[in-house]
A and B are shown apart, each in its own frame.
Chain A
Amino acid sequence: MATNAQPLGGPIPGVGSVVAHPYAPRPFVVREKIQETPDTYTLRLAPRIPGDRIQFQGGQFNMVYVFGVGESAISISGDSTRPEELVHTVRAVGKITNALAALKPGATVGIRGPYGRGWPLDSARGRDIVIVAGGLGLPPLRPTVYEIFRRRAEFGRVEIIYGARTPKDLVFAEEVRDWLPRREMRIQVTVDAAGRDWYGDVGVVTTRLPDARFDAARTTAFVCGPEIMMRLTAQALAQRGVPPEAIWLSMERNMKCALGFCGHCQYGPSFVCRDGPVLPYKTLAPLLAVKEV
């Protein structure tokens, strides 16, 4: 599995020998805000310090600081080949994410990161890939989808299943529509409920797995979404024959330091910020069945 060194301080790009404190945020400016759904926004950020870049791997996250409000762990949803632009997709559900959603172009936020271990795409070379995203689980997977497009020849069949509450809750809806006719991968989109103007599937994401074409024994699966959805999807994949060690889930916990020190995100023997957020189902399976871990 690919690992990433934790940014425990080092020179700030473009600022000579000035060393960043691990808790010091780097200033980024909101260049554009896109409303994805009634309560979800994508922020496109540019570094305030010329030349500053965030090199990241799909599945990693940043600590995004709204000055005067607080800091929140947000996964990176942009293209890893464009480190000069940072993209975060946030759902306005709490104090910090509401403040993020209220930002206007030109506002400055603080960024620490990237943190954690992302999707181990290299482990899927020569294998089929199944991506299952539920709700806001698609943004952390989008950088990896981009990477699969770029490295398509390295993998076997690629299946994407994307589920949301209703059609209006689908994030990146237009972009996903553009992915549909591409031959490089099969995409199934399903929602939990819809009106008559929806011609796609209706049902939980696991109902789409029987239609997905992959060789279970040589498949790597990346799953991201609400924990219950991930648990049921991982069970369904394992039941079909995908090895538990080849099923990867992205866990979400309350992260504070993001450096593996404070313990807020402890999940069993792991710190999600340091050892995750992407972890193998083989490790997670016993914990997923335990309530209030």
Chain B
Amino acid sequence: MTETASEAIAERVLQHPFFVGLDPTLVHAMVSKAEERSYGAGEMLVREGRPAEEFFLVLDGKIALEIGSAEHQGITVETIGRGEILGWSWLVHPYRWRFDARATKPTQVVAINAAAARYALAAHPAFAYQFLLKFLPVIAERLENTRVQLLDTYGH
């Protein structure tokens, strides 16, 4: 990827709600190997059990998070869309995806290289702290939503 293309992606990432307020220089370092990608409806972004080598900022479209099994083709437990972030398996050892992710309509993302991101976070603890302050609410909100889903309130 050319430096200009890399800069353009970094600028785009900086405008993403998730990255607003973070140190731009370090965000540039973190996304140095990021790339923009498009997925057609039905295309898989992530497969359960595979190495989590990147995470995604959703620019447009919709992605279904699925849990599959021998009995079920894939049960969607959550959808995420524009402005949201996909994946934290890249941040937690053993860095393997815990679910499938499939585009349910044409989807554009920025795929951020996990190794580069982890390196930037490890090298800059203050930046890593700010980054986690952004990331934890996303995780917490999804955990709370999952709890509500588990309550199965509509089923009673």
* Residues of chain A whose beta carbon lies under 8 Å from any beta carbon of chain B: 134-136, 163-165, 169, 190, 192-196, 198-204, 206-207, 210-211, 225-226, 228-229, 232
Contacts and interface: CB of A to CB of B under 8 A. Distances in A.
B155 A165 contact: yes
B130 interface: no
Contacts of A198: 76
Interface in B117-156: 145, 148-149, 151-156
Given A196-B73, A199-B104, A202-B64, A164 B145 contact: no
B79 interface: yes
B154 A228 contact: no
Contact of B79 (A164, A165, A201, A232): A201
Given A199-B104, A203-B79, A229 B148 contact: yes
4 A-B pairs closest in CB distance: A135-B154, A226-B153, A165-B154, A202-B79
A228 B153 contact: yes
Contact of B76 (A163, A193, A207, A232): A193
Contacts of B149: 192-193, 203-204
Give the dominant DSSP class at A's interface: mixed
16 contacts: A135-B153, A164-B154, A192-B152, A193-B75, A193-B76, A193-B149, A194-B75, A195-B73, A196-B73, A201-B62, A201-B81, A207-B78, A210-B83, A225-B154, A226-B153, A229-B153
B47 interface: no
Interface of B: 62, 64-66, 72-79, 81, 83, 102, 104-105, 145, 148-149, 151-156
Contacts of A190: 79
A250 to B, nearest CB: 15
B74 A228 contact: no
Contacts of A194: 75-76
Nearest to A164: B154
Given A203-B145, A226-B153, A229-B154, 16 more contacts: A165-B152, A193-B75, A194-B75, A195-B72, A195-B73, A196-B64, A199-B104, A201-B79, A203-B79, A204-B148, A207-B145, A210-B83, A226-B154, A226-B156, A228-B148, A228-B151
Nearest to A207: B145
Given A134-B154, A135-B154, A202 B77 contact: yes
A207 B83 CA distance: 13
Contacts of A165: 152, 154-155
A199 B76 CA distance: 10
A204 to B, nearest CB: 5
Contact of A195 (B76, B81, B153): B76
Contacts of B66: 196
Contacts of A229: 148, 153-154
With a 10 A CB-CB cut-off, give which of A165, A198, A207, A210 has the most chain B CB atoms: A207
B75 to A, nearest CB: 6
A192 B148 CA distance: 9
Residue from A135, A163, A165, A192 having most chain B Cβ neighbours under 10 A = A192
Nearest to B155: A165
Nearest to B150: A192
Contacts of A201: 62, 79, 81
Given A199-B105, A232-B148, A169 B76 contact: no
B154 A202 contact: no
Contacts of A136: 154
A272 to B, nearest CB: 19
A190 B66 CA distance: 15
A199 B65 CA distance: 12
A133 to B, nearest CB: 11
B104 to A, nearest CB: 5
A229 B62 CA distance: 24
Nearest to A230: B153
Given A204-B148, A232-B148, A196 B153 contact: no
A202 B76 contact: yes
A199 B105 CA distance: 8
